[in-house]
Amino acid sequence: MKAELQNLYETERNRLLELKDLMGDYSSPVFGEGDAFSTIVLVGEAPGANEAEQGRVFVGKAGEQLNAMLALANLKREEIFITNAVKFRPIKRTKTSVSNRTPTIAEINASNYVLQKELELIKPHFVITLGNTALSAVIKATKANIKFTTLKEMQGKPRKLRAFDFRFTLYPVYHPASVIYNRELQPALDESLVRIPEILRGLGYRV
């Protein structure tokens, strides 16, 4: 891990923990992991129960889903950097249960500085976003000159953008969890993933 990222995470852990009221009850922020020297970054939505418990992104069932997605793209988890738009688990409580929910705008904003810094430190050439939250959070974090229309319209289409002192290609795809609720999205998600090696070759990667 790059030392600057480690420092960022230490400071941000404390700041995010101070925002407990905004975020409800959660264990601890979950930050990115993987190869911080990679030029490929994947951004998910937010940690779920397993991630909050283990303090790692995409573990358990979500980790298995992610690995299957990466296999279609001919990528390996350890070759890229993986993070989330929101760094803590957004939860919904009833008297008898605790479950995940979509992050609120306030929660996305509270984590956006960390995402911005992660991207600034890594300077990726290729950024894959999973779902709506990740796409809007990356657009916000990079102040990219791009209008968010709909994920349906934008998914599977690479867009060259500029952020701070680097250029990158944004590649939005559906979130794997949304595909579980809406099976009709599966072919489009799979097609977007299978096209990744060809897109990367077009960007000069040897894959």
Binding site for ligand URA (CB under 6 A): 44-48, 51, 57-58, 62, 84, 130
> Token pair for residue 162?
């500029």
Buried/exposed code over 132-143 (b: 16+ C-beta within 10 A; e: otherwise): bbbbbbbbbbbe
CB of 167 to ligand URA, least distance (A): 25
* Secondary structure (DSSP) of 105-173: HHHHHHHHHHHHHHHHHH--SEEEEEHHHHHHHHHHHHT-S-----HHHHTT--EEEEETTEEEEEEEE
What is the DSSP pairing of strand 33-34 with strand 81-84? antiparallel
Residue with Cβ nearer ligand URA (12 or 51): 51
Other Cβ atoms closer than 10 A to 115: 24
CB of 88 to ligand URA, least distance (A): 11
147 Cβ neighbours under 8 A, 6+ residues apart: none
CB of 149 to ligand URA, least distance (A): 22
Rounded distance between C-alpha atoms, residue 102 and residue 98, angstroms: 13
Residue with Cβ nearer ligand URA (104 or 203): 104
Residue with Cβ nearer ligand URA (84 or 169): 84
CB of 85 to ligand URA, least distance (A): 8
Other Cβ atoms closer than 10 A to 7: 12
Residue with Cβ nearer ligand URA (8 or 69): 69
Element at 102 (helix H, strand E):
none
CB of 145 to ligand URA, least distance (A): 26
CB of 133 to ligand URA, least distance (A): 8
Residue with Cβ nearer ligand URA (84 or 192): 84
Residue with Cβ nearer ligand URA (50 or 203): 50
User: Shortest Cβ contact with ligand URA: which residue?
Assistant: 44
